[in-house]
Structures are given as C-alpha cells and as structure tokens.
Structure 1
Amino acid sequence: MTEPMDELHSRGRANFAELVEGGEQRLDALFATVPALGELAVGTVYGHLHERPGLDARTREAATLSAIVAAGMAGPPLSMQLKTGLASGLSPAELCEVVVQAAAFAGFPRAVSAADQLNRLFDEAGLPSPPPPSPREVVLEFCARVRAGERDAVAPEVLAVLSGCDRPEVRATGPDRVVVECYGDAPVPSALLFCTVSGTAVTDVTAYRPG
C-alpha cells in the first residue's frame, strides 16, 4: 500500500535531521518559497528511498553522490549530499574517490566543481585535506605487507589466516571498519578478519574461523 506523502515527508525530515545538524531548519530555509517542492523532494529522497532495504546506506549515498556530480549540480544538492554521505558512514577519502570515478564518465568540469565543494566541507568540518587513505586502502596494504612477510605486531591467528589465504576480498563497512573474507579453494571464505582503521593504520584485527 502506498504511504501518504505527508507521512513520507515527516519521516524524511526526521531522517535528514539525524544525518545533518540543524537539518530541519536547513530544509525549512531551502524550501521556504516552495514548500510543496520540499514535501515531494524530502518525502521521496529521505522518506521513501532512504529506507529502501535493497542497498545499505553507504552504497546508496555513494550512488546518489555520483548521480549529483554527473548531473552537474552544485550548491545545496551537492553540499547536503556530501554531509549526508559522511553521516551515513562514507569516509572522506571515499567521497573523494566517488568524485574521481564520476570524472571519467561525467566530465572533469563537473568533478572539479564537486572537488571545490569538498574543499569547503573539509575546511568547515576541520578534516584534513587531502584526507588519509580510505579504510579499504589501508587494510589492503596491511594484508599485502603481512602476506609478503611482515610479521611485526601481527597476532598469530591473524598471521595464520592471511598466510593461508589465496584470495582476500576486502570490503569497507564503515568509515573505520573493514571486513576481509579469506578464500582458498572453497567457494566460501575459510576465515574472516574484522579490522578497525585509524588514519593510515590498522589498529585492531579480530580473526574468525567458521565452525
């Protein structure tokens, strides 16, 4: 059953307020002249689409950001999307990577405009610019070093997992969390590594072997 737009709008405002500080006031100011547009836009994007279960929040935000960059949008749509991307668990480096990816398909002028907006966002939020590598990059490098023979400060169980891993699949699940699925000959992973990243370092690794 289709939900009434007023209910979607209410939920959308609440969702946006969770993602962006002073979110409801920002929405009121943006749509002060055309409140009906705010009802449609907020109800659709942050009420309906935001809660669809088919994509996790990080993937949905990355897809939305790439579409905004490709459309050449600047101003509030882009700045708000960058903020909600961070709030939904994308790391600063991942935001930058989305802009780089979009440049190849949407054109450099649009990506440069997005990069300029990123400069402002990072400055306002006190974030380093350029940002440290993405959590996935950090963990990939960590895995490569251990598999190449580096053993310092690596727990024995982690070392055993990576030494016996033919194909590590690395996936970030948050701005500081990464899961490594370790595959051998079987179609299912023989072990999992749960990694915590801070800056350019892997600060904690927990190994899990099913069964």
Structure 2
Amino acid sequence: MTDPMADLHDRGRENFEGLVEGGKARLDALFATVPALGELAVGTVYGHLHERPALDPRTREAATLAAIVAAGMVGPPLSVHLRTGLAAGLSPAEVCEVVVQTAAFAGFPRAVSAADQLNRLFEGHGLPIPPPPSPREAVLAHLAAPDGEVAEVLAEFPRTEVQATGSDRVLVSCFGDDTVPGAVLHCAVDGGDVTSVTVFRPR
C-alpha cells in the first residue's frame, strides 16, 4: 500500500533539490536527528504547498518569508527560504522589502532581528549589502524618463501596470481606454539597471 506522506516527501525533496543545489543533502543534515519531522515538513511545504497552482513560486516564497519574519524565526527557516526565495525568482531587494512590510504588522523587533540575520546571510551568499533596487523599482525609474520607442508607447498608452516576473525581468502592460493592453514592454534588468526593453504589440 502506498504511503501518501512518503510520496509527498519524495516529491518535496525533488522540488527542493530543483531550487537549491545539493538540497537533498542539506535536508538530510537539517533533519538528521528527527527524520520523521523532515518527512512531515518537507512533504507539506515542498511536496504539497509548493505545487498548489493558486500562487506562483515567487509570491508563495514572499508570503512564506513574511510569515517567517512575523513568527520571529531567524534560524534555519529564514536561511532556507532565503535560498528558495532567490531560486524562485525573488530579488534580494524584494526579500528586504518583505521584511520592511512585515515590520508594520508584526512589530519592529522581529523585523530588526530578521534584518540582522539577513546581513550575515547576504554576506554568506556574496550578495551586495545593501542590495541594488528591485527589478520593479528599476523599471519604474526607467519609465519616468523614457526615450525612443518606449516614450512613443507610453504617450499612446499612458496607463501602465508594472509586474516583476523574476529577479531579472519585468512586464509593463500599457493601456489606453481599453481594458486590453495596447502594448506590453518586456524589460530585462541586471543589478538594478534596465538593460533592454522589448515592445510587443497585438496584431
């Protein structure tokens, strides 16, 4: 008879390995003393929740990081989900913004504790401190002083929706009076700078 929890655990380990290099070995080390806890935790978080389709991986990891900060967990949970958050496409600046947002609702002491731990985690990952602007921030700054084809698009379709879809890319939907975008800008971002913008128009 198949054990549903064991199946979830196996899928969770595979999903975690896909996010974090050497992930299976890290999980084995983390839960070496209490493997049954690892089966429950990994099966639930990465076998079940990770595969639910209602949230994309970036949003799910952002929500998870907010919950971790709110709960005051600055040990392994924050370390693990910084890794998986970055792997899911969160930028370092977005991780920091989650901490800022959480402070208003969970209290500054917990947010400050998380920020203190992030200093060490960022240093360990070789990430710049403080991080460069988030992809969305970089694109908003770029759109504030557009030129060329981008300026023409924004003049024609002045209402925009700006959505980061990864740590290095942002989609800008441009609207006129219609509810359907008249153009979409695909913005590539590197280190807080917009490196290219591709304009897509419906045929």
TM-score, reference length from structure 2: 0.95
What residue number does 2:59 align with?
59
**Structure 2 CA distance for aligned equivalents of residues 87 and 67 of structure 1:** 18
**Structure 1 CA distance for aligned equivalents of residues 55 and 90 of structure 2:** 14
1:3 deviates by 7.6
1:67 deviates by 0.6
What residue number does 2:177 align with?
185
What residue number does 2:201 align with?
209
Cα offsets for 1:119-171 (capped at 9, x unmatched): 1121111111000000000101111112xxxx3xx4x3x23211212211100
Question: Aligned AA for 2:187?
Answer: C
1:7 deviates by 0.8
Segments of structure 2 that go 5 or more residues without pairing to the other structure are none
Provide the secondary structure at the position in 2 that maps to 1:40: helix
What residue number does 2:155 align with?
163
Question: Alpha carbon RMSD of aligned pairs, Å?
Answer: 1.4
What residue number does 1:118 align with?
118
Match of 1:175 among 167, 185, 190: 167
What residue number does 1:35 align with?
35
What residue number does 1:100 align with?
100
**Structure 2 CA distance for aligned equivalents of residues 66 and 16 of structure 1:** 19
Aligned length: 202
Match of 2:186 among 180, 194, 203: 194
Cα offsets for 1:102-121 (capped at 9, x unmatched): 00001111111111121112
* Aligned structure 1 segments of 4 or more residues deviating by more than 4 angstroms: none
Provide the secondary structure at the position in 1 that maps to 2:24: helix
TM-score, reference length from structure 1: 0.92
Q: Which moved more, 1:109-118 or 1:42-51?
A: 109-118
**Structure 1 CA distance for aligned equivalents of residues 192 and 51 of structure 2:** 32
1:22 deviates by 2.2
**Structure 1 CA distance for aligned equivalents of residues 119 and 83 of structure 2:** 12
Correspondence 1:84 to 2:84: yes
